Amino acid sequence: MTEVKGTPIIKGSRTMQITGLYKGRAIIIKDSYTVINKKLKLFPEMFHLQCGEKEVFPYQYYSSSLLANDNRTGVISEACKFIRDVDTFMKNIDSIKGCRIDENHFDLEKYSTFYCKQDVRILREGFVKFRNDILKEFDLNVYDYVSICSIANKLFENRVYFPNANLYDLSNKPREFISRCIQGGRCMLSDNMKQKSEKKLIADFDAVSLYPSAIARLYTLEGIPKVMKKEMLSTEYLMRHLFDDDQKEPIGEKFMSGFFVLIKITEIGIYRHFPLIVCDPELNPELNVPRSSNTCCLMYVDHITLQDLIKYQGVKCEVLQGYYYDGNRDIRIRDEVKKLFELRLKYKKEGNPLQENIKLILNSIYGKTILSPIESKITIVNDKDAIRYAIRNYNHIVKFE
C-alpha cells in the first residue's frame, strides 16, 4: 500500500479496516475476525468447505535459529519430533511439488507456503460463503460493514428501529449518564472468596443464547429522555408511576415507560453470595471493596435494575438525579429476535451452515447500541507532509509518532 486514505478504524491493538492506494488502485484491507470471530480451523465444518489436505505443521520446529541465514532446508526426522501424525506429514511432503529435497530433507519454505495459501483459500471461501448467505437471507452486503455488530445493528435498524419512527440516538450528557447504567458481565466467586471443593463434583453450567433470550423479554423506549423534577426523586414515586410489566403505553398515573437514575444505597436488607450491587470504584473512590459486593454505595441503575435491587436485596436508597421516558414501549424487537432464533433452529436441524451466521448476529444485537464515544481518530500522513500537517493541526493532535 503506497498511500493511506481516510481514517483507519483501529480498536486497541487491532486494525479493523484501513483504506489506501496500491499502484494507483483503491484497496480496502479488513480484519475478517471482527465479522466472523471463529478460528480458521472451524471454517470447513462451519461453512461446509473442502479443506483439502489435512494440515500437519511442525510449528515449534520452525524456530528463528533454524531459519537464520535464509536457511530453507529442514531435516525430516527432526521435524517429526514436533508432530503426532507422521504418516500424513510424509504424504504431504511428497504431494507438495518440489518439497522433498532428498530422502532426509524437505524444503521449509515450500511446505509453509503451501499451508499459507491453503489458509488464505479457506478464509476466502468461508468469507464469500458467509457474505452470500447474509445477502440472500437479509439483503445486507457484508462488504459494506466493518464488524458483525455493524451488520446486526443495520438489520435491526431496518426491522425495528427505523419502522418505529420515534426512537432516537443519544449523545452528549444524556448518552453519558444513561450509558453508566450499563453493567458488564459478572466475573466473581461466591462471596468474593476462593472456593475449594475436594469431595463434591462441580457443575459447569453454561446457559445458551443469554443475550437474545434477554432481548426477547425487553422493549425499546419511544421518545426522548427528560430530566427528572425534584418531586420525582424518590423510589416510591418512581415505582408508583412506572409502567406495569405488560403495559405498552401511558395510562393515568402509570406514565413512565422507563428511567435511568443515580442512587445512593443506604440500607441492604438481604445479603447475597452473588450481589446485584455494583460498587464502581470511579464513583466510590473511598470504598476499597470488590466491584460486586454487599456494600452501600453510589450506583447508576435503570428501572429494571432498581426493581431487582428492591425485590432481591431489600435495598433502600436515595434517588439523586436521573432521566425518564414517558412514551410508549415498542416490543417489536421481541418478535424479530424470536424469528431469528427460530430460523436458526430450523437451519441447525437441517444442518445448514447459515445457522452459525445467525448465531453470530443474535449475539451481536446490542453491541453498537452501547458503543462508547469515539473521542479521537488516527490519521496517517507521509513523512514529507508530516511537518505541514502538524503545523496546521497542532491544537488537535494528542500524540504524534
What's the CA gap between 53 and 59, in Å, rounded?
A: 17
Do 89 and 156 fall within a single domain? no
Q: Does a structural domain hold residue 211?
A: no
Task: Output the nine-digit C-alpha cell for 164.
Answer: 418505529
Domain count, the chain: 3
Q: What one-character-per-residue DSSP string does 284-320 give? A: -TT--S-SBSS---EEEEEHHHHHHHHHHH--EEEEE
pTM to 2 decimals? 0.80
Helices marked H in 48-107: 76-79, 86-95
Q: Does a structural domain hold residue 25?
A: no
Predicted pLDDT of residue 53: 60
Do 157 and 238 fall within a single domain? no
Do 278 and 352 fall within a single domain? no
Contact 5, 26 (CB under 8 A): yes
Q: Does a structural domain hold residue 193?
A: no
Angle in degrees, 0-180, between the axes of helices 86-95 and 108-138, rounded to the nearest 10:
90
Long-range contacts of 82-91 (CB under 8 A, 24+ apart): 82/58, 83/56, 83/57, 83/58, 85/54, 85/56, 88/54, 88/56, 89/56, 89/58
Domain's final residue, options 110, 131, 152 = 131
Q: Which of 201, 164, 175 is nearest to 330 (CA)?
A: 164
Do 240 and 336 fall within a single domain? no
Do 349 and 314 fall within a single domain? no
Angle in degrees, 0-180, between the axes of helices 148-156 and 354-362, rounded to the nearest 10:
80
Predicted pLDDT of residue 54: 63
Q: Does a structural domain hold residue 233?
A: yes
Do 321 and 343 fall within a single domain? no
Predicted pLDDT of residue 310: 98
Do 305 and 358 fall within a single domain? no
Do 284 and 304 fall within a single domain? yes
User: Cα 302 to the chain's mean position, in Å?
Assistant: 22
Contact 56, 23 (CB under 8 A): no
Domain's final residue, options 330, 358, 392 = 330
pLDDT, tens digit, 9 for 90 and up, residues 271-311 = 999 999 999 999 999 999 999 999 999 999 999 999 999 99
Do 309 and 341 fall within a single domain? no
What's the CA gap between 121 and 219, in Å, rounded?
A: 42
Q: Does a structural domain hold residue 234?
A: yes
Do 113 and 146 fall within a single domain? no
Q: Does a structural domain hold residue 93?
A: yes
Q: Does a structural domain hold residue 95?
A: yes
Instruction: Kindly report the CATH number assigned to the domain that includes residue 270.
Output: 3.30.1770
Q: Does a structural domain hold residue 75?
A: yes
Contact 2, 8 (CB under 8 A): no
Domain's final residue, options 281, 305, 330 = 330
Do 148 and 245 fall within a single domain? no
Structural domain range at position 347: 142-163+332-370
pLDDT, tens digit, 9 for 90 and up, residues 213-269 = 999 999 999 999 999 999 999 999 999 999 999 999 999 999 999 999 999 999 999
Q: Which residues of the chain have pLDDT under 70?
A: 52-54
Do 339 and 326 fall within a single domain? no
Strand order in the sheet with 25-30: 3-11, 14-22, 25-30
